[in-house]
Amino acid sequence: MTVKYKEPAPIVDHLNPLDSMMERFSEAAEILGLDESTYNSLKSPEKTVAVSLPVTMDNGKIEVFEGYRVVHSSKLGPSKGGIRYAPSVNLDEVKALAAWMTWKCAVVGIPYGGAKGGIKCNPREMSVGELERLTRSYTVAMSDIFGPEKDIPAPDMGTNPQIMAWIMDEYSKLKGVASPAVVTGKPLVLGGSLGRVEATGRGVMVSARTAMGKLKINPAKSTVAVQGFGNVGSISAKLMALQGCKIVAISDISGAYYNVKGIDIDEAIAYLKNYSDTLEGYKGAEKITNEELLTLNADVLIPAALEDQITEKNASKIQAKLIVEGANGPTASNADKILNEKGIIVVPDILANAGGVSVSYFEWVQNRLGYFWTEERVNRRADRIMKQAFETVYAASLKYDVSMRIAAYIVAIDKVASTRQLRGTY
Ligand code: NAD
């Protein structure tokens, strides 16, 4: 059996993502006039679980892996969030990603709290058997945390539908009941949802189109640069091209590729599928650096690769009028002010890439109903969620005279804080 794993992010010398998240959280909380007790209760995760996972490797030796699950909030409903397998996984990163999930679910109005999990490992250097044993061992360790009504994992960097299938299987065996709704992002045959694979890129496209409408950018006359050509980047690029935009640059770990006349995205996707794991050697464009891609003269920039790509070092050189964040945390908090001063509109990650968790929610709903929707129905409902969320955040940005990013945090924090108030604390 061959299993294709997503490219884990290389370790980058980035700012602590928890600090980036907290800076924006604090700014929004101050504007909202959040009282101290609410502020304190929302800034810390509800539950932090760290486990040591001994796994027998193929060579017979036992290796011990660090695993985490952080439940940031369950105020709006069961907590939801992916599991990351990468050598760079650490508790601060998992805490930041868990809080982002809380804000993301609240922004798009789905009845979930936020969580995230991670295992410090390198999935590319592990066999399928080792990954299966590690995943089952993690599921056993987290069996009291996970649950269709408690905490629902999903794939993130370094994990994939096969890993979700193992979690679903192990959890169902432990509980003695079939529990497909314990995890989303499953293979279709095990209860996955149509449209899930494309959902994040589709939501990025819907956010970009809505923002372009506000900025009076005509898609047919616009140029777009996309950083990252994995699930989110390649599908965003493909769907933006279908809207009539000219995709002038794409990139992946091998570098960036630029063509002023526009890149044929279907051809680039086919190149990736048929010839190589990366775009290395792709002939449809001239090679440039990833740094050059970020500062290109294109109307729209879609960072869809890693955290902290736009920083105080390069923000002043960015020429795009609109940035739509496909990745989680691609803009460091120290770049926000520079982008605002330049008048660049940023559709923030917790809004722009929320199409994925929205369709994960649909997968969970379908699993609980035992009834499956058509792709057309999934897409229609997801597009509606994304458009409504965009308009809510846009209206808040006008009301409070703040960036779309701070407006998204305001919308989210307000919702979670009022739920906390209604549920009460003793
Ligand atoms: P992926 O592994 O499918 O793709 C990542 C892409 O980034 C690959 O093309 C990789 O080569 C490229 N990349 C890696 N390092 C790079 C570098 N230094 N410069 C340029 N490109 C580089 O991952 P994905 O699922 O597309 O996720 C991308 C981002 O979107 C992550 O931040 C992830 O957390 C976020 N996200 C993903 C989803 C989803 O549903 N997949 C949902 C929400 C957010």
Among the ranges given (17-31, 204-218, 300-314), the one the predictor scored with the smallest mean pLDDT: 17-31
Residues 213, 340, single domain; the answer is yes
Q: How far is the CA of 30 from the centre of ligand 1 (A)?
A: 32
Query: Which atom from ligand 1 is nearest to the alpha carbon of 349?
Result: 44
Question: Where among 135, 152, 183 does a domain terminate?
Answer: 183
Quote the pLDDT of residue 253: 92
Average pLDDT across the chain, whole number:
94
**From the alpha carbon of 200, which atom of ligand 1 is closest?**
40
At residue 1, the pLDDT reads: 35
Q: How far is CA 136 from CA 56, 132, 141, 353, in A?
A: 12, 6, 9, 29
Return the pLDDT at 10. Answer: 40
Query: Does residue 394 form part of some domain?
Result: no
Which of 334, 352, 370 represents a domain boundary (last residue)? Answer: 352
**Sign of the dihedral defined by the CA atoms of residues 214, 216, 218, 223, in that order:** negative
Q: What percent of the chain has pLDDT over 70?
A: 96
Q: Which of 325, 352, 379 finishes a domain?
A: 352
**Contacts by 173-179, CB closer than 8 A, 24 or more apart:** 174/139, 174/140, 174/143, 175/143, 179/148
pTM score of the predicted model: 0.93
Please indicate, yes or no, whether residues 57 and 87 belong to a single structural domain of this protein: yes
Asked if residue 257 and residue 149 are part of one domain, the reply reads: no
Mean pLDDT of 344-359: 98
Number of domain units in the chain: 2
Q: Once rounded to an integer, what is the mean pLDDT over residues 204-222?
A: 98
53: its two tokens: 């996972």
Q: What is the CA radius of gyration of the chain?
A: 21
Q: Domain for residue 68, yes or no?
A: yes
Average pLDDT estimate for 361-369: 98
Q: What's the pLDDT at 17?
A: 78
**pLDDT tens-digit readout, 11-63:** 344 567 788 888 899 999 999 999 998 898 888 999 999 999 999 999 999 99
Are 100 and 214 part of one and the same domain? no
Tell me what pLDDT residue 276 has: 75
- The protein residue with its alpha carbon nearest to ligand 1, atom 30, reads 327
Classify residue 130: in a domain, yes or no.
yes
Determine which residue's CA is closest to atom 20 belonging to ligand 1: 252
pLDDT of residue 15: 63
Residue 49 Cα, ligand 1 centroid: separation in angstroms? Answer: 26
Residues 164 and 232 in one domain: no
Q: At residue 7, does pLDDT exceed 50?
A: no
Distance from residue 82's CA to the centre of ligand 1 (Å): 13
pLDDT given for residue 12 in this prediction: 44
CA–CA dist 30, 233 (Å, integer): 34
In a domain, 315, yes or no: yes
Q: How far apart are CA 172 and CA 316, in angstroms?
A: 52
Q: Are strands 151-155 and 79-86 parallel, antiparallel or unpaired?
A: parallel
| 277 CA to centre of ligand 1 in angstroms | 14
Are 347 and 269 part of one and the same domain?
A: yes
- Grouping H, G, I as helix, E, B as strand and the rest as coil, residue 225 is strand
What's the 304 CA to ligand 1 centre distance in angstroms?
6
Q: Residues 396-413: what's their mean pLDDT?
A: 97
Whether residue 108 is found in the same domain as residue 201: no
Q: Are residues 164 and 125 in the same domain?
A: yes
| pLDDT confidence bin for 274, thresholds 50/70/90 | confident
Q: Which of 101, 108, 157 to mutate to test the pocket of ligand 1 (most atoms within 8 A of CB)?
A: 157
Amino acid letter for position 201? G
Give backbone dihedrals phi and psi of 306, rounded to 5 degrees, phi first. Answer: -130, 175
Mean per-residue pLDDT, 166-191: 97
Kindly report, residue by residue over 78-92, the tens digit of the pLDDT: 999 999 999 999 999
Residue range(s) defining the domain that contains residue 324: 197-352
Average pLDDT over residues 205-209: 98
Q: Which residues pair with 288 in a beta bridge?
A: 256
Atom 18 (ligand 1): residue with closest C-alpha?
253
Domain of residue 132, CATH code: 3.40.50.10860
- For residue 328, give the ligand 1 atom closest to its CA: 32
Burial of 211 (0-12, 13-18, 19+ CB in 10 A): buried
The protein residue whose alpha carbon is closest to atom 4 in ligand 1 is 230
Give yes or no: residues 333 and 235 share one domain.
yes
Q: Of 116, 238, 246, 415, which residue is the catalytic one?
A: 116
Residues 204 and 318 in one domain: yes
| pLDDT at 284 (0 to 100) | 95
How, if at all, do strands 79-86 and 113-120 pair? parallel
What letter represents residue 153's amino acid?
P
Ligand 1 is surrounded, with C-beta below 6 A, by: 6-7, 10, 156-157, 200, 227-233, 251-253, 290, 304-306, 326-328, 353, 356
How many angstroms is it from 311 CA to the middle of ligand 1?
Answer: 18
Distance 254 CA to ligand 1 centre (A): 13
- Give, using CA atoms, the residue closest to atom 32 of ligand 1: 327
- Catalytic residue status for 116: yes
My answer on whether 215 and 347 are in the same domain is: yes
